Chains A and B, each alone.
Chain A
Amino acid sequence: MGRFDQTVNFSLHKDGEDKVRIILQTVYEALEEKGYNPINQLIGYMISGDPAYITSHNNARSLICKIERDEILEVLLRHYLNEK
């Protein structure tokens, strides 16, 4: 069996986590600057996948689309559970 036939566990490395953190922070600030409630908007994006939740201000919409939502969730969950 070749290695591409096997189930593989994916995990984000530190670089990936940093990338997610930087993008989330930038998006959060862009939403705040435009007068939105950033948490509500990010929740909307996470559950619907619609980038219309994210302002185009400061290129935030393009940035958030550079990472998959499951990557964001993985980082958030990992961080939250490690904090506990």
Chain B
Amino acid sequence: MEDILIVKGGTPLYGSIRVSGAKNAGLVLMVAAILAEGETILDNMPRIRDVEVMTFILNELGVRTEWKDDNSLAIYSPPGRIKTKTSYELSRMLRASNLFLGALLGREKEAAISLPGGCDIGSRPMDLHLKGVQALGAEVEIEHGYIYACTKRPRGNNVYLDFPSVGATENIIMMAVKTPGNTVIENAAKEPEIVDLANFLNSMGAKIRGAGTDVIKIEGVSELKPVRYAIIPDRIEAGTFMVAGAISKGEVLVENVIPTHIYPVIAKLQEAGAVVKETESGILVKAGDKIRPVDIKTLPYPGFPTDMQSQMMAMLCLAEGTSVIVENVFENRFQIVDELKRMGADIKVEGHTAVVKGVKKLYGTKVRATDLRAGAALILAGLVAEGETVIEEAIHIFRGYENIAQKLNHLGAQITVK
């Protein structure tokens, strides 16, 4: 199995690069497709490991999947009942498997969900997901690592989320669209992936309003119809490529991106000295003469995304001065620090805060992708490091980035997969 990336540093990146469909939107839409019987086709679906695992979970439930072409995935949701229990073996590989809770409750009125896996970036409890489905009438028990939920008389209700959890918002929406009555989610997550889910479900016949704001209103319907739908571009992949242009001292045009979705990244890159321009065909990033230090605080959308924190940290390792990064979303998202320090970075971590003192140079060495975004950040660091950077456990990177080596190599990078 290909699990090692070797990055030869020192080449500025030039040219244009196209962003794939959003991983986190694609995964939830694959789950939501089971709410309609028949053939749903999802276009712009990235060919990544997480999507592959999700197809295995769907197949296991009795839902057939087929790639129609490179990025169009057909999901055949059969009439009648499907299985309602996800397996531990697959669920532990994919955090998004927890989204079957709401979707199966919406479709089958019962679900048995193995407590999920995913990146080891901190505790991501299911409390709010459970609070939501319980408010809509589900009875829930947790036994032997499984969540068992069923509902005899589901009904719409008001749900206040103590934290704007993306997963909880998605689970509640997927249950509520097929639950009689009106549901209102207050303090809902506002991420673009929520809007994409609402757009997808509304095109199937659902009645959802307010997605993208903190109050989402859903009127339950009895039936949804399958559709063909194109997934939004991946804002994190876009941001990663933008940093690639800036850190490598190059000039990169990032195509197929919705600029609104990455304004915080644009703003921070500009603060760091890069020239960022919105053009008709995408976002152009030109490296500045030097990298200026920048302070960053991660927050739920529309704040600075935690999924871009590691990549920015890699760049700020080479800033002319000291940057402060505060991680407010996940408690275990500084694992990359030890890897960057192996490359010569000067970073100190205290609790949720990392102090990054810029150094003149990074050096290629053997490092480990501790999670998906950390892996991407190590590629970025490797692009400018002296010598070769060998990234082990690169499987984490392939979980979320489609053809990342080929795409960056197209811009002049020298990355090999082993």
Q: Is the CB of A48 within 8 A of B213?
A: yes
Interface of A is mostly: helix
Q: Is the CB of A48 within 8 A of B190?
A: yes
Tell me the bound Cα distance from A49 to B195 in angstroms.
11
> Which residues of B sit under 8 angstroms from A47, Cβ to Cβ?
210, 212-213
Interface residue from A36, A53, A61, A65 paired with B212 (Cβ < 8 Å): A53
Question: Contact at A36–B260, with CB atoms within 8 Å?
Answer: no
- Chain B, residue nearest A40 (CB): B202
Chain A residues closer than 8 Å to B198, beta-carbon distance: 44
Residues of B within 8 A of A43 (CB): 209
Give the residues in chain B near A50, CB-CB below 8 Å: 192, 195, 212, 260-261
Expressed in whole angstroms, the Cα–Cα distance for A53 and B258 within the complex equals 11
Does A58 interact with chain B (Cβ within 8 Å)? no
Chain B residue at smallest Cβ distance from A61: B258
**Considering only CB atoms and an 8 Å cut-off, how many residues of chain A contact the other chain?**
18
Tell me whether A44 and B209 are in contact (CB under 8 A). yes
A61 to B260, CA, bound (A): 11
**CB-defined contacts of A44 to chain B, threshold 8 Å:** 195, 198-199, 209-212
Q: Is B28 an interface residue (CB 8 A)?
A: no
Tell me, in angstroms, the Cα distance from A56 to B198 when the chains sit together: 17
Report the Cα distance A36→B259, complex, angstroms.
23
Q: How far is the CB of A43 from chain B (nearest CB, A)?
A: 7
Question: Contact at B199–A53, with CB atoms within 8 Å?
Answer: yes
- Rounded to whole angstroms, the CA-CA distance of A65 and B278 in the bound complex is 11
Tell me the minimal C-beta distance from B359 to chain A in angstroms: 39
A36 touches B196 (CB 8 A): no
Contacts of A25 on B, CB cut-off 8 Å?
none
Could you say which residues of chain A place their CB within 8 Å of the CB of B230?
56
A40 to B218, CA, bound (A): 13
Chain A residues whose C-beta falls within 8 Å of the C-beta of B211 in the assembled complex: 44, 48
- B203 an interface residue at 8 Å Cβ cutoff? yes
Q: Which residue of B lies closest to A36 (CB)?
A: B203
Interface string of A22-46 (1 = CB under 8 A from B): 0000000000000111001101100
Interface residues of B (CB under 8 A from A): 190, 192, 195-196, 198-199, 202-203, 209-213, 227, 230, 232, 258-261, 280
Top 7 closest A-B pairs, CB basis?
A: A48-B212, A50-B212, A52-B195, A50-B195, A48-B213, A52-B232, A52-B192
Binding site for B on A (CB under 8 A): 35-37, 40-41, 43-44, 47-53, 56, 61-62, 65
Q: 9 extra interchain contacts, Cβ-Cβ under 8 A, other than A40-B209, A44-B210, A62-B280?
A: A36-B199, A40-B202, A41-B199, A44-B198, A44-B199, A44-B212, A48-B211, A50-B261, A53-B195
